[in-house]
Structures are given as structure tokens and as C-alpha cells.
Structure 1
């Protein structure tokens, strides 16, 4: 059976058009073991570089527009939405909870938007009941989370969880006067041309399905095609379709590790050794400490990543037991990044 090594060789030998045809089978063969080993309905892979159109491969029943719950890959989408709100001037990275929730417990008032998006707010990491509740609104959920107070002083502990991001989303609603769905459509869906992404992870209905209490750290559904536009924009330093979506400075700011030097209270086993930025894991840094590779994998295996040093953005679309699949996913991610990387010089 052909392997990823075969794929790398055919990329070297073929013209771009011929490579797409000659190399499709080896990559599909690389996806098949993942599908078979974990009893998946399918798997899809998308790789892109600045030098040509993205390449896509599918196994099983999946295609470019298969909608999947993406779990914690939602965090990157939320952070990018908030980054657009910051660039518009409606919020600042140092906007504080007390400015928007003056009735929240006084101890929470100093928490900043940056801390909420980097899991360094000091709020409890264990998921609040309202994150999974069908009733209420994002505002109701944020007030309930803040009412529980702090477990640590803001900015002193890294504790991975969804509570802080829920408060961040509610702050954005208050700052803009728009609910989360309207805000997400304005800042992400329309500018990037997303056609299969919303905040109803388990919905089966087509189109954009609204949710008054979206789980902004883990409740989105998306597609290979949609998330590919997101990682392409990040790889392009904030540009999409020839226009600025975010500034390069904002893209770099979001990728800076906020967990460095802090006590680690909660982090997934699969993220050992990684840092965390705003909505994204920091997987690698250069000799100067600048982030060069980021990702935002979800619990069901859906994995987007951007490797700036290699000049590669990738999305692996799957739905299964992410923790069990993680070793195979990480190997596929490394090998695919290496084979698609721009040549030195």
C-alpha cells in the first residue's frame, strides 16, 4: 500500500496539476487506517500553502461540506470573532468584567478579556451547568458563572475550560448590542464566506441555526471547507480574498503563549508541553520565543492547525473519540505538514 512517503516523492516529481492526480491515492490510503481503526464514518484532510490552491482528500462518506461538531476547535472561532470586535474598537484586550458586568462579584471585576480567552481568568475550570443548558441565554449563563466568584487571582493560574470564554462572549454582546449569532455572522460568516458553520453542534437542520445560549468554547459545527478558510486567513497573516480580515499584529498577539510561567491547574493530557494563546494551543516556538505553530483540536478529533515556519495550514475533519485517535492524528498532522512544507530558501 502506498504511504505518505510515496506521496512526498510524487510531489517532488510531478507538476502541480499532475501531483494532484498522482498523489490523491496515497493520502487517501493514509486516512483509511484512521477510519478503520476507530470505526469512523469518514475522514477528510485539507492542506494549503501560500503557493497554490488547497488540496483535499476524503475517505468514507465525508466531503468538503460534511457538517461536524468540532468541540474545542470552536475556541479559535470565538477568539477570532472577539479579535474583530477589538479591532473595531468596541472592546479592548484589557477590557474588564466590571466595565460590562458591574453587578458581578467585586472580585471578578478586574478580569480582562485577554484572560478570559486564555484560561487565565481565575474562574472555575469545571464546566458550569448552564453551558449545556437548553434554556436561558448567553447573558444568563455568564451571570451564573460570575456569581460563583474566583478560584484563583486573575492572571496567576492556567486552567483550561469553557467558563471564561462564555463570559467573554457575553461581554461582546453587551459591547456591541448584538446577540452572539448576529455578531458571529457579521464578523465571521459573511466576511469569510462560511456556509456550514453555526453554534448548534448537534443540529441536523440545514442552514444557519440560531442558539440563544451558544457554548462558545465548544458548541460549534463546521465543515472542512469552512474551517479551511479560517486557517488560510491565519496563515496569510490576517488576509482573506485580497482584503484585510485582521491585522498581522493581532494574529501574532493572539498566538503569544499566556500560560508561560503560570501554575498549571488544568490541561488536557494531549496538550502536555504546549502553551496557550487566545483560543489556540501554542505547539512550537522559534529561538526567539515567537510562536510558529498553533492548533485548536476538538474532543471528537476535528483538528485545525497552522505551521508558519513550514508555510502550511491544515484541517483534519473527523468525528470520533478524539483522545483515542490523538496519536494517529498527531502523526498524520506531522507527516502531512512536512510533505506540504515550502522548500527551504
Structure 2
């Protein structure tokens, strides 16, 4: 009997699951964006998925959804761009100080907001931002706060720049990889959260990361630190990610590596719902692009635009990967 069973096992063909076709992927992603419960909750938005050379699928979901070319405030999706700026200026050789700031472990955590026409330094030194003081209680621990990048920008020699000057400096550093016509602006001289751009322009940035045209592309996910105070209280102070999940933070971007639901993607969700990502294997990029202010101050994490966009975006990503729409 044992030999018969073994023979049957040997003779049985292995069932191979072929990769979904591009048409299957696109259809699954589109159905998910339009019909999935979590995506309906996040509508209206524009979504897109592509590879290192071009967009592969995308479209508008929900009534009055933005266009691919619609400029919008992207909040913390600006952080990924600033991380790339630093890596370009350092020619890929980040200092230990750079890493501490880009890991949000510098202790500059009294920061709140910039006024529209303040310079980088004037904002950092403002009364509302604690006069730019360092907080010894948070130094060396992850604390999600715009003050790290604000202070770092001053140290990089950008302190005198207002929003237009900051945007010009960032575009100049990234132009060799993205082109001189790449558009990225700031509504405030706030590197961590003042950016505004469109899905079309941000996708150029993501493709350059994937193709290693930007120095940060080779550094995605490196030296990532623990961010959840519930799982590493001595290493983390505050995270915007619901504490039911544990992500890590790399150089100005997240690593979605929660042991239960993570797939290792790199991302930088913004508070208003702009959610860009690159898959762990750097084969695909994607985004949910929208600007939604309602729910920002909600005590329920699921009401927050960033959390809602992540929930939707990763369902679209999963549907693209396996060709199966989510409902």
C-alpha cells in the first residue's frame, strides 16, 4: 500500500499556478478599486499601477474623482521625496546623522506646522514649534514628527528658503533622474508634509526609484527601525499607523512588513489620503491619489484618510498581484 501511494504521488503532476495575464491583473485591480468595500469607503480617488518604465493600469473611482493630472496636497508622501533629495545630495553615502534624522530619531519633535510664507528656518524656530528645541525624551527613539526633516533641511543649508525656493532645490537635485520638467511644489516650506503634486508627476518619482535612477532606490527598506510603541516601547514613541499593525521605517519611507498582514511594500501615505507604494520586489508601483480633509482628527483610525487609502490601496495591490478582485 505504501509503495502504491508513493507511486501515485510521484506520478501526480504538480499543479502550477501561472501568473495572471496583464489583462487579468488590470481587470481585478479595477474591480477592486470600484467595488471593494474598503475602496468604496475611500472614494473618490484616482488609482494607478505600473512598472519601472510605464503605467500599466489606472483610472478614476467614485463620483468627481481627481484626474491623473490633478495637483493636490500630498502631506506625508512628501517625506519620501525629501529622503530621495538627501540621498542625491549625499551621492548615496548617508552620514550617521542623516540616518538618525531620516529614521525620525533625532529628538526634534516639538514641531507642528509652518505658516504659508515662512522660510524653512523661521518655521523650525517658531514659537508654535518649540523654538526648534530638541526633546531629550524622544532622542534616539522613533517619533513620527515633521520636526526631524525641518531641522535636517536647515542643516543641509536650506534654512533661508521659502516654499518656492525649497521646491526649486528639490527639483534641481532630482532632475538628472526625473527630468527638468518634473513638477513638485510646496504650499509651505515644510519638507515632511508641505508637498503638492499630481499622480502623474509622483509616478515618475516612483519609477525612478524602481529603476535605481535615484540613489534612494538602492536604499529602499535599509536599516529600518521599529515604530510601534506597543511592541517596542523603548524604541518608539509615536506612530500614525494603527497600533494593531507593526510596520518599520526606513529612510523617509515605510516598510509594510507587519507579520500578519504586511507584504513588505515600501510606501509613504499622507494624512489627506495620498498613498504611493512600491512592491517589495520593486516590480510594480502604485498609488491611491486623493485629497480628503474630513476625518483627520477622528479618534477612530479607520476614519482617517491615510488609513482608509492604505486599506484600499493594498487591496488593489493584492488584486493586481494575483489577478483576483477583492469585494
1:107 aligns to what? none
CA distance in 2, matches of 1:234, 1:148: 32
Unaligned runs of 5+ in 2: 1-16, 297-301
Q: Do the aligned residues in 2 keep the contact of 1:303 with 1:317 (CA within 8 Å)?
A: yes
Stretch deviating more after TM superposition (189-198 or 58-67): 189-198
User: CA 1:54–1:173 in structure 2 vs 1: closer, same or farther (change >3 Å)?
Assistant: farther
Within-5 A mapping of 1:1-345: 12=20, 16=22, 19=23, 27-33=29-35, 37=41, 40=43, 42-50=44-52, 53-59=55-61, 60-87=64-91, 92-94=94-96, 112-124=97-109, 126-128=110-112, 131-144=113-126, 147-152=131-136, 156-173=140-157, 179-189=165-175, 191-193=177-179, 195-200=182-187, 214-236=189-211, 238-239=212-213, 245-246=214-215, 249=218, 251-252=219-220, 255-259=222-226, 262-270=234-242, 272-284=245-257, 292-309=264-281, 311-320=283-292, 321=294, 323-324=302-303, 325=305, 328-341=308-321
CA distance in 2, matches of 1:127, 1:146: 7
CA distance in 2, matches of 1:342, 1:25: 11
Structure with greater Cα Rg: 2
User: CA 1:339–1:44 in structure 2 vs 1: closer, same or farther (change >3 Å)?
Assistant: same
3-state SS in 2 of match to 1:115: helix
CA distance in 1, matches of 2:77, 2:248: 16
Deviation (angstroms), 1:51: 8.2
1:209-251: CA deviation from partner (whole Å, max 9, x where unpaired): xxxx511111111111111122222222x22xxxxx32754x2
Unaligned runs of 5+ in 1: 1-8, 95-111, 201-212, 240-244
Deviation (angstroms), 1:43: 1.2
1:133-169: CA deviation from partner (whole Å, max 9, x where unpaired): 1343112223445845322267521111101111112
Deviation (angstroms), 1:191: 3.5
User: CA 1:28–1:83 in structure 2 vs 1: closer, same or farther (change >3 Å)?
Assistant: same
Deviation (angstroms), 1:196: 4.0
Q: Do the aligned residues in 1 keep the contact of 2:224 with 2:249 (CA within 8 Å)?
A: yes
Higher relative contact order (CA 8 A, sep 6+): 2
3-state SS in 2 of match to 1:168: helix
User: CA 1:226–1:187 in structure 2 vs 1: closer, same or farther (change >3 Å)?
Assistant: same
